[in-house]
Chains A and B, each alone.
Chain A
């Protein structure tokens, strides 16, 4: 009985992605040879052709307070994100904001039923990834794409300082 149920459920799960467009993003936080290292603040968002934020996908920042203040104090250092979205956003945002992440490649996956993508009007978009690090630098990478995807699309951008490789793969 239980086995059948599991099979039935997995059958459901297996069929659902067939109808959904998936948007897979990899963001690499590079290993840096520096004396004082702090994990970067990273914002991942989608921009429309008007260069306005169409959807916030992920924002990583220090979620707690320390002697220097609460982690939100340094959110404006994600300058473009702050200007375009952050300053009018009430953080934390469920499903978007989260703690900073360590060195490595981080996979983010969304489908067209995700709240961020459900409202997306057809058109040209840019995936933007901005990273800024305490006592470090700031870097911003862009990967253009078209929505909705008629065929599979992929793109990537290579960072040089605060970001490694950022890849985008869209499967209709």
Chain B
């Protein structure tokens, strides 16, 4: 197998459609027909994709050089541990922001999120960051709340 991950993704998709189909089976008959049809098509397509990948792998299995080239390409395009760490840090901070926005309110959570995330990305704190964070938060408040009359989250600290 040239890329196990690709097969695992296919397996995941297959399982997803299968579970969705089983769940759809519990709906009333008239409401179940359409999602069941979709799941069946999804399962069929996933099987086809896997078959296509197996045929592709079988064709190039004999050619060691080609396998090496593909594996090298995968390595080059693959994300390193450092990349995943960066993504994890970003998504972690974003999740904390999302979770805190309703309890802390728009202003406190947004300014804190912006200052912390900018400092983490820049790897050091600077007053420019504070100015940008406060300025952007106010600008967005004026745009959403005052100008467009779109309600923003109001927490205990506003």
Do A and B associate with each other? no
Task: List residues of A whose CB falls within 8 A of some B CB.
Answer: none
Task: List residues of B whose CB falls within 8 A of some A CB.
Answer: none
